[in-house]
Amino acid sequence: MSQAQEKHLKDYAKPAFTITHVDLNVILDGKNTKVTTTSKVIRNGEHQHELVLDGEQISLGSVKLNGSSADYRQHDNQLFITTELNEFELEVVSLLDPEANSSLEGLYMSDGAYCTQCEAEGFRRITYFLDRPDVLAIYTVRIEADKAAFPFLLSNGNLIDKGEMPRSGRHFVKWHDPFPKPSYLFALVAGDFDLLNDSFTTQSGREVKLQVFVDKGNLHKADHAMASLKKSMKWDETRFGLEYDLDIYMIVAVDFFNMGAMENKGLNVFNTKYVLADKASATDDDYHGIESVVGHEYFHNWTGNRVTCRDWFQLSLKEGLTVFRDQEFSSDVGSRAVNRIQAIRVMKNQQFAEDAGPMSHPIRPESVIEMNNFYTVTVYDKGAEVIRMMHTILGEEGFQAGMKCYFERHDGQAVTCDDFVNSMQDASGKDLTLFRRWYSQAGTPVVTVTDKYDADKGEYHLTVSQQVVSKGVKGQTLHIPFSLELLDNAGESIINKVLDVTKASQTFVFDGLSSAPTASLLQDFSAPVKLVYDFSIDQLVHLMRHASSEVARWEASVQLISQTIWHNIAQLQQQQVMTVDSRVIEAFRGIILDVNLDQALVAEILSIPSASALIEQVDSVDLDALAKAREFVVEELASACEDELLARYRELSTLDAAGARAFKNIALSLLCQVSDVHESVVEKQYYNAQNMTDCLGALKAATSAQLTCLPALLSDFESKWHSTPLVMDKWLTLQALINTDDVIEQIKQLTKHNSFSFSNPNRVRSLIGAFASANTYQFHRADGEGYRYLTQILIKLNKSNPQVASRMITPLIQFAKFDDSRQQLMKQCLQELKNLPDLSKDLYEKVTKSLAE
Ligand code: B3K
Ligand code: ZN
């Protein structure tokens, strides 16, 4: 694939020209859609370069400069315009066919509505343009379309004009966005929707009109998204002092969308998955997801839109910061501990894997072939951890002072991650020189802790050593905020503080201790590192009972269960019998019976680490032994606590609260692992369920224990929900995760089901994405059939939707931990992809990086 060019951060240069004003005239007319772009162009500095505009997948109509034909040429997706003028008006006419656009980037059709997705480089599929984030312009957009089919015509900013064209049955509107913005924040939607209206009065007393647009017939499912929006607006005022700036905020939910949502100025476009909800069809997790994504996109209005990125290498400037903000929002309005646990899981199970694989990159990547490949757990979630560490080091007050300084300096600008850290440093007076290395260093640091207690002196010595190796290269020492609690034998907290680790190895001494303490290390995952410490069972049990932090109690339980599973893997490998220590069982029982614990937290603690989470803890894995040992430990724990689980299940069933449901459903799953006698409980819960959480809880229990009632439940579910695509996605996922040898055959059949379509990313992710990423044993079948099936699908999607293909390839490129035979099979598939004549840039980048490992 010849045009795949790698771009480097070090080559950044200011644009030779800038565009200050853009007038778009968009005539929506199916295959004959026409976009006329009139830009005010200004030469940046003194030079004689041509003006170079980007354009992809569009036909060029005409190019005029100050009203006359321009001197131009086209080459390789670029338009070169020669002029000596320093300021001029440029008119470019582009012709496009949104109906033929299956990549869902640029202007495309989603179920009869026109919509756009421009981030990162989709605007160039709408018109030739300076499509880079450091060109900020004021947009005025006229949209014209058939009125009956497209009664709503939306774009960014405020509506300034509208009118009818009665003879043709068409109408038009004009929108004006007073805030200069990069092209990636442009949006347009045209369609027929149901509309939920509301309003919000800002802290300074301005009234903002709020609108949520959903597909016809779904109005009753828009309330939670609207409530989440208002909650987000209020929270950003209270916690960050940030107020909304336009008179209107619109959210449009569309069925066909590559990601979760998009923060276009004043006109967010959302995947329906993150908007539509009612009790019957959405789970508690879905509700939580909607609140968090609505918040995330809203928070971008300041962190991303008002202050944006200079170039795409700086993506974490807006994404890391906005994820941090949405996590804080969820934690302030919900359970801080449970939200933190979920974020830690993403880091340990997904980000660590990415950082150990061929796509490892720093949160500020240094080179990129396809930008869409860098909307990653590293840029987003590790990026948020880096912001969180600054928050830990500076404290809330220092951090907020840094934010204030950042907006004072950079409102209306396109800036870098360094600019952000400078604001934090200058406003707080904390030296962040060493800390900045987090931005340029890839890989997960390993922090090894050793300790000793000196009884004579009453001293406790704790030595913390750090090392990071990325792609065989040793990295630099980092500034690591290391949160520590020391507990005495009675479980009392003696010390609770954050240590500043800034050297390769550092020893901290604590005196005045009358006995050896138990240490809760790296509390709340205070830095995105791997912790190595030789915990004993007694220490972990002590931490599970007494650590002040609920997150630390969960961490201890994960460690305890994981150690138990690894112990049994070793037993199996040495042909010894498997066992579970009675202290582990008692600790588990203690959690089930502790009525003072938050039920949602108990559910987290009782969730036994998944196979893929366990694989993340080691360098190489014996998959068959892991499967057996994990199953054994689950069964031992569950059968030892069967009575308690059943009693708690019954008690919790009477409560109507998300935490109770989470606990109850985990209990049910565990019970089903013990014995089929609980099958009747599953059926009862399924048929009596008053909400989707309970319905799905029963189905999940039936699926993982492969109960005989499963086919009947699945078929009942299908008959109830066959016309609700988002609910059918759950049905597809359940079947994709069944651990039986014929699952691939079943999946192939399901791709022919009416509810499935290869053109809709939600369907593809629910069925095939779920199989590849979460059906660990079947995807990694020893005969390679899982790999080959995914490869066939990727070959298909490579043409129609390269972004979705590229996201789904992840489990195939993370092969390093598997045995040679599996690695060979995975690499054969990657080689097959590499040989494709029309391999997209997206897959090309991942496949070549993987095969070069
Ligand atoms: N900024 C968008 C993601 C765009 C992805 C482009 N492939 C959603 C978000 O992070 O809020
Ligand atoms: Zn974002």
Kindly report, residue by residue over 430-457, the tens digit of the pLDDT: 999 999 999 999 999 999 999 999 999 9
Q: What is the mean pLDDT of residues 720-724?
A: 98
| H helix runs in 313-382, sequence order | 315-333, 336-345, 352-356, 377
Is residue 297 domain-shared with residue 384, that is, in the same domain? no
State the maximum Cα–Cα separation within the chain, in Å, rounded to a whole number: 97
The verdict on residue 500 lying in a domain is yes
Can you say whether the dihedral through the CA atoms of 770, 771, 777, 783 is positive or negative? negative
Can you say whether the dihedral through the CA atoms of 258, 136, 51, 72 is positive or negative? positive
pLDDT band at 172 (very low <50, low <70, confident <90, very high): very high
Is residue 294 domain-shared with residue 341, that is, in the same domain? no
- Pairing type for strands 207-214 and 248-254 reads parallel
Q: What is the CA(258)–ligand 1 centre distance, in A?
A: 9
Is residue 351 domain-shared with residue 451, that is, in the same domain? yes
Is residue 103 domain-shared with residue 40, that is, in the same domain? yes
Choose among 475, 382, 476, 484: nearest CA to 433: 476
- What is the pLDDT at residue 436? 98
- The CA-atom distances, in angstroms, between 8 and each of 182, 365, 462, 720 are 20, 9, 42, 52
| H helix runs in 549-691, sequence order | 550-573, 582-593, 599-606, 611-615, 623-640, 642-652, 658-674, 679-688
The verdict on residue 282 lying in a domain is yes
- Pairing type for strands 33-43 and 17-27 reads antiparallel
SS3 232: helix
Instruction: Count other C-beta atoms under 10 Å from residue 534's C-beta.
Output: 9
- Between CA 62 and CA 225 the distance in angstroms is 43
Protein residue with its CA nearest to atom 10 in ligand 1: 319
Return the CA Rg of the chain: 28
Residues sharing a CB contact under 8 Å with residue 775, sequence separation 6 or more, in sequence order: 736, 737, 738, 739, 743, 786
- 221 contacts 201 by C-beta, under 8 angstroms: no
Protein residue with its CA nearest to atom 1 in ligand 1: 262
pLDDT band at 471 (very low <50, low <70, confident <90, very high): confident
- Between CA 827 and CA 374 the distance in angstroms is 22
* Packed helices 336-345 and 315-333: angle between N→C axes, nearest 10 degrees: 140
Residues sharing a CB contact under 8 Å with residue 397, sequence separation 6 or more, in sequence order: none
- 370 contacts 841 by C-beta, under 8 angstroms: yes
In this structure, the dihedral spanned by the alpha carbons of residues 289, 294, 300 and 306, taken in order and rounded to 10 degrees, is: 180
Q: What is the CA(375)–ligand 1 centre distance, in A?
A: 7
- Between CA 626 and CA 632 the distance in angstroms is 10
Q: What is the CA(386)–ligand 1 centre distance, in A?
A: 19
Last residue of a domain, one of 516, 531, 546: 531
Which of ligand 1's atoms lies nearest the C-alpha of 319?
Answer: 10
Q: Is the pLDDT of residue 114 over 90?
A: yes
In this structure, the dihedral spanned by the alpha carbons of residues 519, 524, 530 and 532, taken in order and rounded to 10 degrees, is: 10
- 764 contacts 747 by C-beta, under 8 angstroms: no
What would the pLDDT profile of 634-643 be if each residue is shown by its tens digit? Answer: 999 999 999 9
- 777 contacts 786 by C-beta, under 8 angstroms: no
Residues sharing a CB contact under 8 Å with residue 458, sequence separation 6 or more, in sequence order: 511, 512, 513, 514
Is residue 187 domain-shared with residue 202, that is, in the same domain? no
**Burial of 197 by CB count in 10 Å (0-12 exposed, 13-18 middle, 19+ buried)?**
exposed
Q: Is the pLDDT of residue 7 over 60?
A: yes
Q: What is the CA(447)–ligand 2 centre distance, in A?
A: 30
pLDDT band at 676 (very low <50, low <70, confident <90, very high): confident
> In the structure encoding, which two tokens stand for residue 37, read together?
């772009």
Last residue of a domain, one of 133, 156, 191: 191
Is residue 442 domain-shared with residue 295, that is, in the same domain? no
Q: Which helix (H) or strand (E) holds 253?
A: strand 248-254
- Between CA 142 and CA 167 the distance in angstroms is 19
Instruction: Count other C-beta atoms under 10 Å from residue 224's C-beta.
Output: 20
Is residue 507 domain-shared with residue 582, that is, in the same domain? no
Q: Is the pLDDT of residue 2 over 60?
A: no
- The CA-atom distances, in angstroms, between 289 and each of 255, 267, 286, 292, 342 are 17, 20, 5, 5, 12
**Burial of 184 by CB count in 10 Å (0-12 exposed, 13-18 middle, 19+ buried)?**
buried
The verdict on residue 109 lying in a domain is yes
- What is the pLDDT at residue 713? 98
Q: What is the mean pLDDT of residues 208-221?
A: 98
Catalytic residue among 119, 263, 297, 679: 297
Q: What is the mean pLDDT of residues 661-665?
A: 98
- Between CA 138 and CA 140 the distance in angstroms is 7
CATH number of the CATH domain containing 481: 2.60.40.1840
Q: Is the pLDDT of residue 233 over 70?
A: yes
Choose among 275, 183, 261, 259: nearest CA to 225: 275
- Between CA 810 and CA 375 the distance in angstroms is 13
- Between CA 52 and CA 321 the distance in angstroms is 32
- The CA-atom distances, in angstroms, between 604 and each of 93, 369, 487, 666, 733 are 56, 39, 23, 9, 21
Pocket test for ligand 1, best of 108, 115, 259 (most atoms within 8 A of CB): 259
- What is the pLDDT at residue 3? 59
Is residue 478 domain-shared with residue 540, that is, in the same domain? no
Least confident of 3-7, 77-81, 255-259, 494-498: 3-7
Residues with CB under 6 A from ligand 1: 119-120, 259, 261-263, 296-297, 300, 319, 372, 375
Which of ligand 1's atoms lies nearest the C-alpha of 260?
Answer: 8
Protein residue with its CA nearest to atom 2 in ligand 1: 262
- What is the pLDDT at residue 472? 85
Last residue of a domain, one of 479, 508, 531: 531
What would the pLDDT profile of 239-253 be if each residue is shown by its tens digit? Answer: 999 999 999 999 999
Nearest-5° Cα angle at 842, 837 to 846: 95
Q: What is the mean pLDDT of residues 201-217?
A: 98
Is residue 500 domain-shared with residue 540, that is, in the same domain? no
Q: What is the mean pLDDT of residues 541-554?
A: 98
Please tell me the total count of domains within the chain. Answer: 5
The verdict on residue 466 lying in a domain is yes
- Between CA 483 and CA 447 the distance in angstroms is 13
The verdict on residue 112 lying in a domain is yes
What would the pLDDT profile of 809-833 be if each residue is shown by its tens digit? Answer: 999 999 999 999 999 999 999 999 9
Least confident of 3-7, 510-514, 648-652, 656-660: 3-7
Considering the chain, what is the average pLDDT of its residues?
Answer: 98
CATH number of the CATH domain containing 234: 3.30.2010.30
Protein residue with its CA nearest to atom 9 in ligand 1: 262
Q: What is the mean pLDDT of residues 48-75?
A: 97
Which of ligand 1's atoms lies nearest the C-alpha of 296?
Answer: 11
% of the chain with per-residue pLDDT over 70: 100
Q: Which helix (H) or strand (E) holds 448?
A: strand 446-454
Name residue, tokens 């049905």: 731
- 364 contacts 376 by C-beta, under 8 angstroms: no
Side chain identity at residue 728, one-letter code = M
Which of ligand 1's atoms lies nearest the C-alpha of 263?
Answer: 11
What would the pLDDT profile of 298-329 be if each residue is shown by its tens digit? Answer: 999 999 999 999 999 999 999 999 999 999 99
Q: What is the mean pLDDT of residues 837-853?
A: 97
Q: What is the CA(265)–ligand 1 centre distance, in A?
A: 13
Instruction: Count other C-beta atoms under 10 Å from residue 631's C-beta.
Output: 16
Is residue 203 domain-shared with residue 185, that is, in the same domain? no
Is residue 512 domain-shared with residue 555, that is, in the same domain? no
Q: Is 297 a catalytic residue?
A: yes
Q: What is the mean pLDDT of residues 582-607?
A: 98
- What is the pLDDT at residue 443? 97
User: How long a stretch of residues is the chain?
Assistant: 853
- What is the pLDDT at residue 461? 98
pLDDT band at 13 (very low <50, low <70, confident <90, very high): very high
Is residue 26 domain-shared with residue 157, that is, in the same domain? yes
The verdict on residue 2 lying in a domain is no
Side chain identity at residue 220, one-letter code = H
DSSP label of 609: P
- 393 contacts 435 by C-beta, under 8 angstroms: yes
The verdict on residue 155 lying in a domain is yes
SS3 131: coil
The verdict on residue 708 lying in a domain is no
Range of the domain at 561: 533-674
**Residue ranges of E strands in 493-535:** 493-501, 505-510, 518-521, 530-532
